[in-house]
Amino acid sequence: MTLDKTIDLLNEKGELRIIETPLDIYLEIPHLAYAEVKKPNGGKALLFTHPVDHKSGKKFDMPVVMNLFGSFRRTELLFGREVEGVAEEIEKLLHMKPPQGFKEKIGMLGDLFAMKDIFPKKLKTKGSCQDTVIQGESVDLYDLPILTTWEEDGGPFITMGQVYTQSLDGNLVNLGMYRLQVYDKNHLGMHWQIHKDSSHFFDQYQRAGKKMPVSIAIGGDPLYTWCATAPLPYGVNELLLYGLIKKESPKLVQSITTPLFIPEDVDYVIEGWVDPEKMVLEGPFGDHTGYYTLKEYYPALEVSAITHRKNPYYLATVVGKPPLEDKYMGWATERIFLPLLKTNASDLIDYHMPENGVFHNLIMAKMKPLYKGHAKQFMHIFWGSGQMSFVKHALFFGEDAPKLTNYEALITYALNRFIPKCLFISEGITDALDHSSPESLIGGKLGIDFTASYSPSAPVSIESSELLEKMRALIPEVRGLTQYMRHTANPITVVSVNKIRPLKECMSVLEELKSLVRIVVFVDEKKNDIHNPYMLIWRVVNNIDAQRDLYRSETIVAIDGTLKTVLDGFTREWPGDVECTPSVVERLKQLSLWDLDIKLENKYQL
The identity of residue 499, as a single letter, is K
Q: β-strands 363-367, 314-315: how paired?
A: unpaired
Integer angstrom CA distances of residue 389 from 114, 231, 345, 382, 431: 33, 11, 14, 6, 9
What count of other Cβ atoms lies within 10 Å of the Cβ of residue 549? 23
Q: Is 16 in a helix, a strand, or coil?
A: strand
Given a contact cutoff of 8 angstroms between Cβ atoms, the answer to whether 283 and 148 are in contact is no
> Helix 72-79 crosses helix 326-336 at what angle (to 10 degrees)?
60
Given a contact cutoff of 8 angstroms between Cβ atoms, the answer to whether 404 and 364 are in contact is yes
Given a contact cutoff of 8 angstroms between Cβ atoms, the answer to whether 564 and 570 are in contact is yes
Given a contact cutoff of 8 angstroms between Cβ atoms, the answer to whether 230 and 89 are in contact is no
> Helix 28-36 crosses helix 582-590 at what angle (to 10 degrees)?
80
Task: Compute the radius of gyration of the chain from its Cα atoms.
Answer: 25
The identity of residue 146, as a single letter, is I
For residue 519, the surrounding DSSP H or E stretch is strand 519-524
The identity of residue 152, as a single letter, is E
Alpha helix locations (H) across 508-581? 533-543, 546-549
What count of other Cβ atoms lies within 10 Å of the Cβ of residue 565? 12
Q: Which one is catalytic: 197, 267, 287, 431?
A: 287
287 is catalytic: yes
**Phi, psi dihedrals of residue 167, rounded to the nearest 5°:** -65, 165
- How buried is 452 (Cβ within 10 angstroms: 0-12 exposed, 13-18 middle, 19+ buried)? middle
Residues labelled as active-site residues? 287
